[in-house]
């Protein structure tokens, strides 16, 4: 028997969509604690998840929009870092973000959960692990009558009295990562997820193919969001330190527990992904690998910003998409959103296109040869040529110095340039660089960058707002109360005109060239083929511009380099750049073209390594 839609007998559906008819001011606001099956704080009592609810006073049962987060009391949500607020009795009065303001009047409940070990929940935060995921899953189970909860006074709280259990999870960054993890369990009742700039593999967030991003990172993240008294979670923190294994960079059982991609086939929920193509915090491999593994109905938004919510990029269009998406999958309204083009992508500042899939169907993997050029600056394209390059690991070499002058000798890097493009080309997918190298140490880190050399106005993703500027004006998205308004500072896209831009980056520890699960030390004097995967991207390069490949060893800006001081010899004929390409690179001349030296963007902020990272942004200041 097919269940009646959530809106049966109600009047909040008109013209095929939900409309605001319920009083937001008079909504039911309550707080409950959901019991889990875990006890990782080892106090002999099942861990409990604090859940705050805002729901309409509807006649029938309503679906739920759920955001499970570690940030509700430590760091805040959104561009304005909003925190939860409570009355004197501990009942929620203000929910962060606009989801409750906008959707509750339209016949949805909004539920926010403090994941285990954070906010008012018990248990211990295990940073992407089993406790984190199952604590949020327990909320979905409770909404569907499969778990127990109580109010603060200990009386039972029964969700099935007011909800039909149809749940959608949403969240940016860490919150979206939790949604991915819960969906990967295949839990019944989770109908859709909206992960924004989210993690699908915590190994890839804290490691770059064996390269350490920041030392003692899981412990740092635990400390930032921990809501438990001192000492309660010491055993869990010790487990984070030992399991993450900074010493080797190996992918092990600890990381496998925090890798949701192998279970993408279990995902029953539809998936709406949004991810900045220039996100250097939660890198683009996180969405790309997750996207390719999903078999459920799916949709993708790809702006050119960094770690920014689409609400702060293209606000009206994003809210409209969310509205129709939730109406379709939670309210059961046949509005056709799933039949629209699956991909919405920003091709240039303020210019958007719709496509059927991603990567673009016309993209073909093209092997681009590395040529000797003038013996200093090499060439891209044409036929392979004999030749070699030799450089020493220079961990102090900045990205700005490495890419700004491709024709000049720079210690610690080698450069290869295409001929000026005779037609525009597009890179859509995951580039890789295969390097045939000989190294005089047991390992070295290898870093590769693709650079567009040519003056253009581009989204300023390296600026302080990661591609947006916050304005003084406000706009309102839903109903308000005295305690919780629906108004948010407007934003504008931030751009910069410069002579070059880094399109994508990639890193690889050479001793992990066989497998990420173990180290295979290199033997001096022996040649090895090492592939450096770059971050997935989608970029267009204009006629007359030059495509550059910059290769160096360790990178002190985007990682914590384990520099070995190696000398690297590169055999050009055995090496190549592999591009998912639409269009053709022109055949290069005998020597690489001369590219004018250009300084780094004047709006560039401090590089990532100099700022404390959270999966919700580059430091507590950022776009949460």
Question: Quick one: which of 122, 146, 124, 145 has its CA closest to 51?
Answer: 122
Q: For residues 25 and 104, what is the distance between their CA atoms, to the nearest angstrom?
A: 10
In what helix (H) or strand (E) does residue 224 lie, and over which residues does it extend?
Answer: helix 217-225
- A 10 A CB-CB count for 440 gives 15
Catalytic option among 279, 452, 538, 555: 279
At 583, list the tokens.
């269009």
Rounded to a whole number of angstroms, the distance between the first and last alpha carbons of the chain is 42
Please, how many CA atoms are within 13 Å of residue 321, restricted to the half-sphere of its CB? Answer: 22
Torsion angle (degrees, nearest 10) of CA 276, 283, 495, 404? -150
Catalytic option among 12, 222, 307, 512: 307
Q: For residues 131 and 522, what is the distance between their CA atoms, to the nearest angstrom?
A: 38
Q: Which residues, including other chains, have CB under 8 Å from residue 291's CB and lie 6 or more apart?
A: 273, 298, 300, 358
Residue 95 CA, chain-centre distance (Å), reads 23
The pair phi, psi for residue 100, each rounded to 5°, is: -70, -40
- A 10 A CB-CB count for 414 gives 23
Q: Which residues, including other chains, have CB under 8 Å from residue 623's CB and lie 6 or more apart?
A: 78, 79, 307, 308, 309, 312, 465, 466, 468, 617
Q: Is 234 a catalytic residue?
A: no
Catalytic option among 31, 69, 135, 173: 173
DSSP state, 220? H
Q: Is 279 a catalytic residue?
A: yes
Classified as helix, coil or strand, 466 is coil
Q: Is the torsion defined by CA of 289, 358, 172, 399 positive or negative?
A: positive
In what helix (H) or strand (E) does residue 139 lie, and over which residues does it extend?
Answer: helix 130-143
Give the residue carrying structure tokens 């080698």: 414
Q: Do the Cβ atoms of 462 and 606 come closer than 8 Å? A: no
Residue 426 CA, chain-centre distance (Å), reads 22
Q: Which residues, including other chains, have CB under 8 Å from residue 296's CB and lie 6 or more apart?
A: 267, 268, 269, 270, 271
Classified as helix, coil or strand, 210 is coil
Please, how many CA atoms are within 13 Å of residue 43, restricted to the half-sphere of its CB? Answer: 15
At 73, list the tokens.
């009391």
In what helix (H) or strand (E) does residue 567 lie, and over which residues does it extend?
Answer: strand 567-582
Q: Is 529 a catalytic residue?
A: no
Give DSSP secondary structure letters for 234-258: HHHHHHHHHHH-TTT----HHHHHT
Classified as helix, coil or strand, 434 is strand
Catalytic residues: 173, 279, 307
């Amino acid at each position: 028997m097919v269940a009646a839609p959530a809106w049966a007998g109600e009047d909040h559906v008109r013209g095929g969509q939900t409309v605001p008819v319920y009083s937001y001011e008079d909504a039911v606001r309550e707080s409950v604690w959901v019991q889990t099956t875990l006890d990782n704080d080892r106090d002999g009592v099942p861990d409990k998840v604090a859940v705050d609810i805002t729901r309409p006073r509807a006649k029938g049962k309503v679906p739920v929009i759920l955001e499970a987060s570690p940030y509700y009391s430590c760091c805040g949500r959104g561009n304005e870092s909003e925190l939860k607020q409570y009355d004197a009795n501990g009942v929620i009065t203000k929910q962060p973000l606009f989801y409750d303001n906008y959707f509750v009047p339209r016949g949805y409940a909004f539920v926010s959960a403090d994941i285990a070990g954070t906010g008012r929940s018990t248990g211990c935060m295990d940073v992407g692990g089993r406790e984190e995921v199952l604590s949020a899953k327990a909320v979905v189970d409770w909404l569907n009558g499969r778990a127990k909860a109580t109010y603060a006074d200990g009386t039972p709280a029964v969700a099935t009295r007011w909800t039909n259990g149809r749940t959608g999870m949403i969240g940016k960054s860490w919150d979206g990562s939790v949604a991915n993890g819960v969906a990967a369990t295949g839990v019944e009742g989770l109908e859709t997820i909206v992960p924004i700039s989210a993690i699908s593999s915590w190994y890839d967030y804290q490691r770059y193919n064996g390269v350490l991003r920041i030392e003692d990172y899981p412990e740092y993240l635990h400390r930032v969001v921990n809501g438990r008294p001192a000492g309660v979670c010491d055993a869990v923190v010790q487990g984070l330190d030992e399991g993450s294994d900074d010493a080797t960079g190996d992918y092990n059982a600890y990381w496998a527990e925090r890798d949701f991609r192998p279970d993408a086939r279990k995902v029953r929920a539809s998936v709406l992904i949004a991810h900045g193509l220039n996100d250097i915090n939660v890198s683009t491999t996180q969405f790309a690998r997750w996207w390719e593994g999903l078999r459920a109905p799916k949709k993708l938004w790809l702006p050119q910003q960094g770690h920014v919510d689409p609400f702060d990029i293209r606000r009206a269009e994003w809210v409209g998409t969310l509205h129709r998406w939730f109406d379709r999958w939670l309210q059961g309204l046949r509005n056709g959103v799933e039949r629209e083009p699956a991909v919405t992508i920003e091709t240039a500042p303020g210019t958007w296109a719709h496509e059927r899939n991603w990567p673009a169907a016309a993209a073909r993997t093209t092997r681009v040869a590395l040529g000797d050029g003038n013996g200093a600056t090499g060439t891209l394209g044409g036929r392979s040529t004999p030749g070699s390059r030799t450089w020493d690991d220079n961990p102090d070499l900045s990205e700005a110095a490495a890419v700004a002058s491709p024709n000049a000798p720079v210690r610690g890097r080698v450069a290869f340039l295409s001929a000026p493009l005779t037609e525009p080309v597009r890179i859509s997918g995951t580039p890789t660089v295969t390097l045939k190298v000989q190294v005089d140490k047991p390992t070295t880190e290898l870093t590769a960058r693709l650079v567009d050399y040519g003056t253009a106005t581009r989204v300023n993703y390296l600026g302080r707002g990661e591609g947006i500027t916050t304005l003084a004006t406000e706009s309102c998205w839903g109903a308000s109360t005295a305690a919780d308004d629906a108004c948010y500072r407007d934003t504008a896209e931030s751009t910069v005109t410069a002579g070059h831009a880094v399109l994508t980056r990639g890193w690889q520890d050479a001793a992990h060239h066989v497998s990420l699960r173990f180290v295979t030390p290199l033997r001096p004097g022996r040649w090895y083929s090492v592939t450096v995967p770059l971050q997935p991207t989608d970029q267009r390069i204009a006629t007359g511009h030059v495509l550059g490949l910059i290769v160096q060893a360790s990178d002190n800006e985007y990682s914590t380099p384990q520099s070995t001081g190696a000398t690297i010899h590169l055999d050009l004929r055995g090496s190549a750049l592999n591009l998912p390409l639409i269009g053709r690179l022109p055949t290069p001349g005998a020597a690489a073209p001369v590219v004018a030296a250009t300084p780094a963007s004047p709006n560039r902020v401090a590089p990532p390594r100099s700022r404390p990272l959270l999966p919700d942004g580059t430091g507590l200041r950022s776009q949460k």
